[in-house]
Each structure stands twice: as structure tokens, then as C-alpha cells.
Amino acid sequence: MRMHILFLQVSLLVLLSATGWAQVPRPAPPPTVAPPLPVRGQPLTAVVPVDTARVFSLRDLAELVFANHPIVKQAALLSERARGQVLQARGGFDPKATSGFDRKLFGGTDYYNKWANEFKVPIWLGGIDLKAGYDRYVGTYVNPETRTPLNGLAGVGLSVPLGQGLLIDARRSTLRQARILVSAAEADRVKQINDVWLQAAKDYWTWYYTYQQAALIQEGVELAETRFRAIRQRVDLGDQAPVDSVEARITTQDRQVQAEQLAVDLQNARLVLSNHLWNQDNQPVELPARAIPQPARVDSVTRQEFARLRERAATEHPTLRKLDAKILQLGVEERYRRELLKPTLNVSGTLLSQGDFYRPELPASYSFGLNNYKVGVDFALPIFLRQARGQLQVVRLNVRETVLEQQQSRRTIGNQVTSVYNSLRAYERQLAVQTLTIANQRTLLQAELQKYDLGESTIFLINARETKLIDLRIKQESLRASYEKAVAELYYYAGTRSVNGE
């Protein structure tokens, strides 16, 4: 058997010499100690210090996203728009002054000279309108019903709805709904920002995982190159079979190919993360190539924290808050539609006086008093009320639909929080097992190197053990990145956001 192996080695040496991959050993020089292989895989176990000046942390990303991201700024406009709608609704209660003037003079005849003025102040309570006016209707052909003294006619009065509009009217309904919409808009703003942050956090940990992959493969390339150089020197000295140098070279080339691909993946991951980076001038910026991610910190989310998040999700989640606001809004609308089932009954009264009422010598019979007034009553009632009843029925159906949607959303949100928390627990267990697996694989690699030094192993087995160790460490980083993404999802489904669990 030994003679057979020796024959194969000599044959391979001749073949490699003919193709230029190896050289025939020259006559033995003075005794020289062959260079050892890389020391027991230490580069795969040593802790490399991190240059903190180059670290682009998750908190750095959060500060930039929350301060400068266009969608975050756009979300802030939702609340401003809602406040603008409230201001617009308040306009229904603004005092209003009106004035109109008409005159006709033809053929020396003053047909009419009309000047009407009114100042109306809507009052919130009872839908009352307070009115004050001054009219001057004079001329040959002015209607006697509207004719006034030459000094005009002043009046102060009220318009009161005793039926429809007494408890709530269109103005009060619009204003109340607009105020409720502020809460809905704030919930929309929070949800939109949470959406942006969840995607940014996921892209950050994708970048982290790609960076760790590239670093581990590059570390493997350096180890393979060092081992190849050491083996080649041993082959040159005739202390090792040439086939080992071919094996070492293939491993080096394979890892170099992986490193090239991961360099492209890392660049692309950096570009994806840069989508979330903007400066104060609303200009996009790119993540520097020298920037590195922070180390993953797998902090356990305690059961107390989980209970707090689940309770928060059930009460303060933006989706539920928006549905709460919608239910309140529909409640106001339903109340208003019920009010429209009442008959219209408006009573108005105005005390009158001559236009120069400020003169103390004015006779009492022409000044403000109970003997000088104008009153009016308006009444209307649709016979079947089909329009009002139909509108009320639609609003009530919308309320029921929204309540059912809220119930389903609350259950879905609670289950999402629980599901992500279960995933976190699973990731923690997997990481614990993965750590033990890596330690055992390092032990195997160390033992394989020792056996190789004793001539009882091969380069193929060493490379296999080392490659397996690299793969296990890459899988560990994948689990860490997945854990961090799950933490971001946990807080997102709870209706909030977190940077490193804070």
C-alpha cells in the first residue's frame, strides 16, 4: 500500500513538473526546517478590535431617518393638514358682515335706493345666530313692505332652531369630525414613520449580514493563501506531496471567487441602505465605503417587555387608534343624521328702531322696544323622510363595519406580536446551539491540524473543516441579523419603534 501511494506521488510530481505547476526538487540543500502551516486556525477565532470611528450604528441611522427622510417629513404634513381642516371647520362659526347697495334713478325719478347691511355671529350653543343690521330702502317704487324711514331702520335679533338643528347641525358636526380627524391623522403619521423605520432597520441588518459574510470569506482567503504558500515551500523542499499544493490552491481560488461576489453584494447592500440617508437640504447621501456596521447585540426580550408590548399593541397601535377615531367620527355623523329626522322649525325675532337710534331725543315709539319688532317662523317636514332615513341607515352600517374591522385588527395585531416573540425565542435557542456547534467545529479543526502535523491527515480534510467552520460562523451571523430584524418587527407590530430595544 505504501509503495502504491509513493508511486502515485512520484507520478503526480512528474506531471506537475511538465505543466509548470511545480518544480522538481533540486539536490537537497543543507538541512532546513520546513515552514509550519497556519497556526491552528487562530485567525478564525481571534477577536478583531473594531474601529469605532468607522462604525455607522443603528442609532446614527435613526437620527438621520427621523430628521431628514422625505417620507417622514411628508408624514408630518398629515397632522398639519388635519389641523388645517379644523381651522376650515371653525370658519362656520366666524362672524360675517354683509352689505349690498342698489339704486335706480331715471327720468328725474328716484325709483329706489336700497342699502342693506347685516352682521351675523353664529353661537355654538343651540345653533343660534345673533344678528344686527341696518337697512335703508327708500324711493318712489320701493315695496311698502320693505320701505324704511329716510334715516333707515336698525335691528337686533336672534334666529333659533327649535326643531332640526337644536342639538347638532351641519356646522357643529363638521367641526367635531374635523377635531376627531386630528387623532386619525396623528395615527397615520406614526404608522407611516414606523413603516419607514422598519424597512430601514431591515436594510441595515441586511447590510450587517453581507458585511460579516464578506469579512469571514476574506479571512478565509487570507488563511488559504497563507496555507498555500507554506505548503508550496514544503513541496519545494521535498517534505510534502505536490498534490497538497494543488488542493490548497483550489481552495484559495474558490474562496477568492466567493469574495468577489460578496464584494458586489456588499456594495449593493450599502446602496440599498443609502436609500434612507438624506441631509438637511433634502439631498440624498451615500453611505461611505469605509463605514462598518455595529456588532449585533442579541439582547433577550423579557416576558415583562413582551407583556408590555402586547398591552400597548391592544390599546395604542396606530391602526387601532385610527379605527377608534373613525368610530367616533361616525358616531358624530350618526347623531347628525338622527337630527335630520326632526322637522325644521326656526324662530327668528328682531327688535327695530330708526337708523338714528343713538339720538336721545328720538321718540320712544320709534326706538328699540317691545312695540317695534319683526318675527318669523319657518316649518318644514318631508312626509316620508326617506332620504334622511336612508342616510342614517348607511351611517349605522358603516359603524358596524368599522367595529368588526377593529375587532379583527386587534386580534391580528396581538397574534402578530406573539408570533414574532415566538420567533425571537427560537432564534435565541438556535444561536445558543450554533455557538456550541462553532466551538466543537473549532475543536475538530485544531485536532485535524495536529493530526496533519503528525502525518495522519490531509490538506483536503483541513480545508473541509475550515470551510465548515466559516459556513457555521456565516450562519451564526445570519441568525443574529434575523434576530435583530425580528426585534424591529416586534416593536413595529406593537405600534412603536425601537433602536436596539430601547
Cβ 494 vs Cβ 313: under 8 Å: yes
Q: Give me the long-range contacts of 18-24 (CB less than 8 A, separation at least 24).
A: 21/242, 21/245, 21/246, 22/235, 22/242, 22/245, 23/236
Can you give the pLDDT at residue 409?
Answer: 96
Q: Which of 255-259, 265-269, 377-381, 454-458 has the lowest mean pLDDT?
A: 454-458
Q: What is the pLDDT of residue 360?
A: 65
Contacts by residues 91-98 (CB-CB < 8 Å, ≥ 24 positions apart): 92/122, 92/170, 92/171, 92/174, 92/175, 93/122, 93/124, 93/171, 93/175, 94/122, 95/119, 95/120, 95/121, 95/122, 96/120
- Residue 4 pLDDT > 80, yes or no? no
pLDDT digits 0-9 by tens, 265-308: 999 999 999 999 999 998 999 999 899 999 988 777 889 999 99
Domain-located, residue 434: yes
Sign of the CA dihedral running 451, 454, 456, 458? positive
Task: Indicate whether 145 belongs to any domain.
Answer: no
pLDDT at 363: 64
Q: Is residue 21 part of a domain?
A: no
pLDDT band at 452 (very low <50, low <70, confident <90, very high): confident
Asked if the structure places residue 126 within a domain, the reply is: no
State the average pLDDT for the chain: 86
Q: Does 369 map to a domain?
A: no
Tell whether the model's pLDDT for residue 135 goes beyond 50.
yes
User: Which pLDDT score is estimated for 112?
Assistant: 93
215-235, pLDDT tens digit by residue?
Answer: 999 999 999 999 899 888 888
Domains: count for the chain = 1
**499 part of a folded domain:** no
**CATH code at 450?**
1.20.1600.10
Does 395 reside within a domain?
Answer: no
User: Could you tell me the pTM of the whole model?
Assistant: 0.81
Look at residue 240 in the predicted model and tell me its pLDDT: 77
Output the pLDDT for position 394.
96
Phi, psi at 295, each rounded to 5°: -65, 145
* 64-73 per-position pLDDT tens digit: 999 999 999 9
Residue 108 zone, left/alpha/beta (φ > 0; ψ -120 to 50; rest):
left
Q: For residue 396, is it within any domain?
A: no
pLDDT > 70 fraction of the chain, expressed in percent and rounded? 87
Question: What is the model's pLDDT at position 224?
Answer: 92
Domain of 419, in residue numbers: 57-86+173-328+401-493
Cell triple for 259: 469574495
Closest CA to 107 of 145, 141, 137: 141
Reported as a pLDDT band with limits 50, 70 and 90, residue 49 is low
